[in-house]
Amino acid sequence: MKILSRSLAILLLAGMVIAVGTSCNAWKNAKGSVGGTVYVNHRPEGFATVQLYQGDTYVKQERCSDTGHYMIRDIDPGDYTLVVLNARGVIYPGETLVQIGRKFEQVDIEIDIQAGGL
């Protein structure tokens, strides 16, 4: 009986080690996401496009909803720049720097355009 108990304990421990190792690998490979609302002159900017760059390299983009909300998923951890284009494709001035980890990052973007701008 002691041999059976000892064998069972070893099997359970080995299973736990495998489960923890698999869980750690999943965490190492986890990706992050960024989302929020784009505001222009303190009002949500519907149908704008948020582009994601790492350095000078374009990564991906998402179009905002009619209420200015955006969400970009499946991003490798690192430092990125967010650039916003209006619905006509004109780039708004300014950039937003963001550090993406292995989770969701809430980033609201506020753009102030002076009268006569763009």
Q: Mention every residue, 6+ apart, whose C-beta is less than 8 A from residue 75.
A: 31, 32, 33, 34, 52, 59, 60, 100
Residue-wise pLDDT tens digits, 4-56:
456 555 544 445 444 445 455 665 789 999 999 999 999 999 999 999 999 99
Q: Which residue has the higher pLDDT, 13 or 62?
A: 62
**Residue ranges of domains in the chain:** 1-26, 32-111
pLDDT for the residue numbered 17: 44
**CATH 2.60.40.10 fits domain 32-111:** yes
Report the distance separating Cα 109 and Cα 106, nearest Å.
Answer: 10
The whole-number average pLDDT for the span 59-87 is 98
pLDDT score for 79: 98
CB within 8 Å of 97: residues ≥ 6 apart: 79, 80, 81, 82
